Structure formats: C-alpha cells, structure tokens
Amino acid sequence: MKQEKSCGAVMFRETDAQRHYLVLHSVKGHTTLCKGHVEAGETERQTAVREIMEETALTVDFLDGFREVITYSPYAGYTKDVVFFLARVSGGTLTCQPEEVADAAFLPFERALAALTHGSDREVLQKADAFLAGR
C-alpha cells in the first residue's frame, strides 16, 4: 500500500470577540480546510505554511499544543495521513489560488462546521474549537 502525507491548518481570526474559521471551496466541488502535500525536505509546519500561502496568500501564527492527524484511503492501494495544526491568521489578504480554490470564507463555528464536506474535517474543526475554548 502506498502512503501519502499532507499538512495544513485550522485557520481562524477573531474580531469583536467572535471567532471565525476559514473554509475553502475546492475547484473539485468539496469544502475543506487548508492543506496540501508534503514536499521533499519539508517539516510538517513548513508544508502547512507553504500551502496556506499558496492557497490563500495569508500568513499565520501556530498555536502550540494542537496537532491532529486524520488517516483515510483516497483510492484503492493508497492511504493518506493529513496533519492539521491550529493557526491564527496574522497577515495577508485572502486571495484564492485559482487552480485549487474556487472560493474561501471566514465563517462562525456552526456555519463552518456545516459547510465542510467530510466528517473527518468536521471532527478536526470541533477539536480545534474545543481546544480554543479550553485556553
């Protein structure tokens, strides 16, 4: 069985005491969190930073203590691990990478949760929100 690995982040920003999470609507039709394949020589966080910049043009600050891994089989003979960090948006202007991202939006937790296509992404978002609530 062939193994793949991607890394990304649950990204959020806070304004007027409200937290909003970034969800991406892929050109393939699903709504997801920001993530992408690890390139040779990259650490997990380096991959996440690169993918965030490529897909959204945003910069982030990671919050220590949050790392979630989901594993699934995208197709026969392959398994994929996706490592998610938690990151506060620190700069940049949201700009979608047209080859991969059709649209992106910051949404309140419940709307972001409902928008995500895959249950595994919803679980990661729920864990991230609970982590932030417990800080």
Domain ranges of the chain: 2-133
pLDDT at 15: 86
> Distance between CA 3 and CA 103 in Å, rounded?
29
Residue labelled with tokens 């490529």: 54
Query: Which overall architecture, per CATH, does domain 2-133 show?
Result: Alpha-Beta Complex (3.90)
Chain segment 23-82, per-residue pLDDT in tens? 999 999 999 999 999 999 999 999 999 999 999 999 999 999 999 999 988 888 889 999
* Closest to 90 measured CA to CA, from 112, 62, 70, 68: 62
Q: Is the pLDDT of residue 1 over 90?
A: no
Q: Where are the alpha helices (DSSP H) in the chain?
A: 44-56, 109-115, 119-133
Do the Cβ atoms of 6 and 38 come closer than 8 Å?
Answer: yes
pLDDT at 73: 86
> Distance between CA 77 and CA 7 in Å, rounded?
21
pLDDT at 25: 97
> Distance between CA 17 and CA 15 in Å, rounded?
5
Q: What is the 3-state composition of the chain as percent helix, strand, coil, each rounded to the nearest 5?
A: 25, 50, 25
pLDDT at 16: 84
pLDDT at 99: 95
Chain segment 87-109, per-residue pLDDT in tens? 999 999 999 999 999 999 999 99
Residues 6+ apart with CB under 8 A from 82: 5, 6, 7, 8, 35, 69, 70, 71, 72, 120
